[in-house]
Chains A and B, each alone.
Chain A
Amino acid sequence: NAGVMQNPRHLVRRRGQEARLRCSPMKGHSHVYWYRQLPEEGLKFMVYLQKENIIDESGMPKERFSAEFPKEGPSILRIQQVVRGDSAAYFCASSPSHSYNEQFFGPGTRLTVL
């Protein structure tokens, strides 16, 4: 049973470009969470999604950031017009249900904005 998969593992973008981060949850998991971790800081919740629904996006910046989890395929975190401050590690986690205790994390995507 493959774990949570994220790709790419490393992504380099120039200011103003778009970044697309993909997350495939564990088999049987329909709940996906995205987090951002800045250097020397803790993980910050961004968004919680179920298939085709955004449940809680209270941690998402109001502009340039969007997320989706379509019926088929991975969850996508999209950052438009990236700026240097977007450089961070972005982790995706999944769980079989929201009440399930553990979140299983993917290896993360490290975004560097030049």
Chain B
Amino acid sequence: RKEVEQDPGPFNVPEGATVAFNCTYSNSASQSFFWYRQDCRKEPKLLMSVYSSGNEDGRFTAQLNRASQYISLLIRDSKLSDSATYLCVVTAGNQFYFGTGTSLTVIP
């Protein structure tokens, strides 16, 4: 079983839409959780950390459910510039485990 699993999509949504991505992880001892963003053929960049209490950064809201080993990312009022692949990342021990990513395209 993969450490981190994500629906690869693609998600194609109109500008202004709300879209949600989900991610599950297998290691109950996982310590930290993140969403990274990766644009085509570029390096991943941190979008936001994910905390048990849930956290929000502008149009982005992240949630963590440790009991269900589930992480989510909600994007409100989608912009064209949000088009990218969103990577769910979980740490355990020395390692960062990356999901395969969910592809988002925001359509004008």
Contact A43 B44 (CB under 8 A): yes
Contact A103 B43 (CB under 8 A): no
CA distance A89 to B99 in the complex (A): 16
Contact A56 B94 (CB under 8 A): yes
Contact B46 A55 (CB under 8 A): no
Q: Is A42 an interface residue, CB under 8 A from the partner?
A: yes
Contact B98 A48 (CB under 8 A): no
> B34 contacts which of A55, A91, A101 (Cβ < 8 Å)?
A101
CA distance A63 to B99 in the complex (A): 25
Contact B46 A102 (CB under 8 A): yes
Chain A, Cβ-Cβ closest to B95: A45
Chain B, Cβ-Cβ closest to A6: B43
Contact A41 B34 (CB under 8 A): no
Chain A residues whose C-beta falls within 8 Å of the C-beta of B87 in the assembled complex: 42-43
Contact with A along B35-68 (1 / 0, CB 8 A): 0000001111110010000000000000000000
Contact A48 B95 (CB under 8 A): yes
Contact B43 A91 (CB under 8 A): yes
A-B contact pairs, 12 of them (CB 8 A): A41-B100, A42-B4, A42-B99, A42-B100, A45-B98, A48-B94, A58-B95, A89-B41, A91-B43, A101-B34, A105-B43, A107-B42
Using a CB–CB cutoff of 8 Å, the interface residues on chain B facing chain A are: 4, 32, 34, 41-46, 49, 87, 93-101
Which 8 A-B pairs give the minimum distances between C-beta atoms?
A105-B43, A42-B100, A56-B94, A43-B98, A42-B98, A102-B46, A45-B95, A48-B94
